[in-house]
Amino acid sequence: MAKYWQESPPILQEFLNYHASILSHSAKTVDEYFLDLRSFFRYLKVRRNPALSQTPFSEISILDVDLEFVSQTQLSEIYGFLTFLSGGAPAGKAESSTRARKCASIRSFYHYLCVHAHQMEQDPTQSLNNPKLRKTLPRYLSLSESIQLLEAVSGPNEVRDYCILTLFLNCGLRVGELVGLNVQDIREDTVRVLGKGNKERQLYLNEACLEAIQAYLVVRPEPKEELRHKNALFVSRNKTRLTTRAVENIVQKAVRQAGLDPKYSPHKLRHTAATLMLNHGVDIRTLQDVLGHENLGTTQIYTHISDANMKQAVEANPLSRVKKREE
């Protein structure tokens, strides 16, 4: 049992267990559910008992939260919580994306109690509106910048790091998917990827990926025999499976060496791969399968990037500012 479950009342433990065991959500996703709902319950306790406002927010226990407590929740309390977050909660003022995520966690919790656990009849989130999100297009590298990044890779683990960047830029992997790769996942010209919700997908490896993998396997150190390390494709100098944080550092180091914006992360390399594929003829539904998106709407954001590129291309035409001469 995860450590944080010991800090949760039974009604929350059951919800977390449902997402972990039945829906097969990742530990990170379940973590976020816990943290979001813990904050919400703490807020409710203070709102309903003002005397608790004298207690540091982080020290308010939620172990006494039960069905009776959550059944009293009003829609106005949920909106009050979102206002509390936007005004600067103890953890700081929350961005609209953070508030939207917490809103989704609360909605999921009450939906579970009403529909799956049959412990409540009225869902207080039924008329809940999500915070309006500021629409921003994903940042990505151009083709020339991507080549510049690959050419900049150097250091004692150059072959490994080059392979990692090549897979990011060609396959659009998530960082968690990359660190989870095992040697046996590589089969001829394909790779088996374990994505969100433990959903598997098979990706084909192009020539660049195959060459990078073959070169790396020659120098790959033999990892420790521990179960979680011995089959790892990407291994650290300590002979353990690379962590997501280690891969983030590898990407940031390469970005600095290439003289690019230091804000580029593994996830932005995923955006880069998606954009390059779409701009070079890959259709949107194929791209959805490659990226492992459950909903097509998630993939469609890249069509906006493509539209922006096409507009820039037209504007870049040297004839764009030539006007008919007035007679």
pLDDT tens profile 239-266:
999 999 999 999 999 999 999 988 888 8
Name residues whose C-beta falls within 8 Å of residue 93's C-beta, 6 or more positions apart in sequence.
Answer: 85, 86, 87
Confidence of residue 17 (pLDDT cuts 50, 70, 90): very high
pLDDT of 52 higher than 90? yes
- Kindly give, in sequence order, each residue whose CB lies less than 8 Å from that of residue 241, ignoring residues fewer than 6 positions away: 179, 223, 228, 229, 232, 234, 235
The whole-angstrom distance between residue 267's C-alpha and the CA centroid of its chain comes to 8
Look over the chain and give the mean of its residue pLDDT values, rounded to a whole number.
86
Q: Quote the pLDDT of residue 1.
A: 46
Residues 90-142: tens digit of each pLDDT: 655 667 778 888 999 999 999 999 999 999 999 999 988 877 766 666 788 88
Show the DSSP H helices in 49-174 as ranges. 67-71, 75-86, 96-111, 143-152, 158-171
Chain Cα centroid distance, residue 5? 23
The rounded distance, in Å, linking the Cα atoms of 44 and 68 is: 13
Q: What is the mean pLDDT of residues 283-296?
A: 84
pLDDT at 88 over 90: no
Contact 40, 106 (CB under 8 A): yes
Residue 84 tokens read as 């509390």
228 pLDDT tier (thresholds 50, 70, 90) = confident
Query: Catalytic site residues?
Result: 174, 196, 267, 270, 293, 302
